[in-house]
Amino acid sequence: MKLLNQKIVLFYITCLSVAFLSACAQTPTCEEGIKIIITPHKLSVCSGSEDKIFVKLLDKQGGPLFGMKISATSTSPTVATITSEAVSDAAGKAAFTIKGISPGTTNIILSVAGQKATMEVIFIEH
């Protein structure tokens, strides 16, 4: 009987441990603070050309965030367009392609898990 009670207690401890570890999954909440690093932070290119920007996602402790969906938009799509979304790799990195449409200035807004970062893009004529 004593052995049966020990097995039941061990079972409950195991279940609680699994529940706790599941709650500590990779997906951070908005309150946790995701650091969005954009490289380069400002871009100047000729209209009609393409260029890449790179994004790195870090958690509060500076560790990379894997598998996070990053959305991107241009505030002036007549000036430039950008790849609409990407997913961060094991190093927390993702790449986006920006295509110049016409001369002007636009801001690129990158968002992930409710947090946003912005960069400026200036397109000039050839």
* Residue 7 included in any domain: no
Owning domain of residue 72:
28-124
* Residue 105 included in any domain: yes
Q: Are 43 and 12 in contact (CB under 8 A)?
A: no
First-to-last CA distance in the chain? 86
pTM: 0.72
Question: Which is more confident, 25 or 95?
Answer: 95
Q: What is the pLDDT of residue 71?
A: 97
Q: Identify the CATH number of the domain in which residue 109 sits.
A: 2.60.40.1080
Amino acid letter, residue 17? S
* Residue 70 included in any domain: yes
Query: pLDDT tens for residues 42-89?
Result: 888 887 889 999 999 999 999 999 999 999 999 999 999 999 999 999
Q: What is the pLDDT of residue 40?
A: 93
* Residue 90 included in any domain: yes
Residue tagged 């570890």 (tokens) = 21
* Residue 14 included in any domain: no
pLDDT higher than 70, residue 104:
yes
Q: Are 71 and 88 in contact (CB under 8 A)?
A: no
